[in-house]
Amino acid sequence: MKAGALIHLPWVAALTLMAAPAAAATIEVTIDKLVFSPATVEAKVGDTIEWVNMDVFAHTATVKGGWEVMIPPKKSASLTLKAAGAVDYFCRFHPNMKGHVNVAP
């Protein structure tokens, strides 16, 4: 009995290790003509948001008092979400551009 449980332990550990990275997703947000699309993103801690900037203008994804991602013209930039919670973000250069991220634990 004891030996059998010990034999199974590495399997359990391996499955746990495999499960964690497989669950993290990359969510794409497109920026086209000063619009974040989709405007609202549902994510989990550990997921990555990738902003794909189609515009010839530089943008940012900025959370007031929080993170900021610089997104150069015609380039992409990403951020891995570290904390759970709902945040509003905007572009610091064009504050009329707004987005929202719901981060589940």
Partner 1 sequence: MFTRYTAALAALLFVSAAPFAQAADKPTDPQIAHIAYTAGVLDIEAAKQAIKTSKNTEVVAFAKDMERDHEAVNKQALDLVKKLKVKPEDNATSQALTKAAEEEHAKLAKLKGAAFDKAYIENEVAYHKQVNGALETLLIPSASNAELKSLLETGLKIFQGHEQHAEHVAGMLK
- Provide the binding-site residues for partner 1, judged by CB under 8 A: 33-34, 56-58, 73, 91-97
Complex with partner 1: residue 29 or 81, whichever CB lies closer: 29
For the bound state, the minimum distance from the C-beta of residue 81 to partner 1, rounded and expressed in Å, comes to 25
- Given a contact cutoff of 8 angstroms between Cβ atoms, the answer to whether 81 and 46 are in contact is yes
For the bound state, the minimum distance from the C-beta of residue 28 to partner 1, rounded and expressed in Å, comes to 21
Complex with partner 1: residue 42 or 88, whichever CB lies closer: 88
For the bound state, the minimum distance from the C-beta of residue 16 to partner 1, rounded and expressed in Å, comes to 46
* Residue 103 CB contacts under 8 Å (≥ 6 apart), including other chains: 43, 44, 45, 47, 81, 83, 84, 85, 86, 87
Q: What is the DSSP letter of 91?
A: -
- Amino acid identity of residue 102, one-letter, is N
Complex with partner 1: residue 34 or 39, whichever CB lies closer: 34
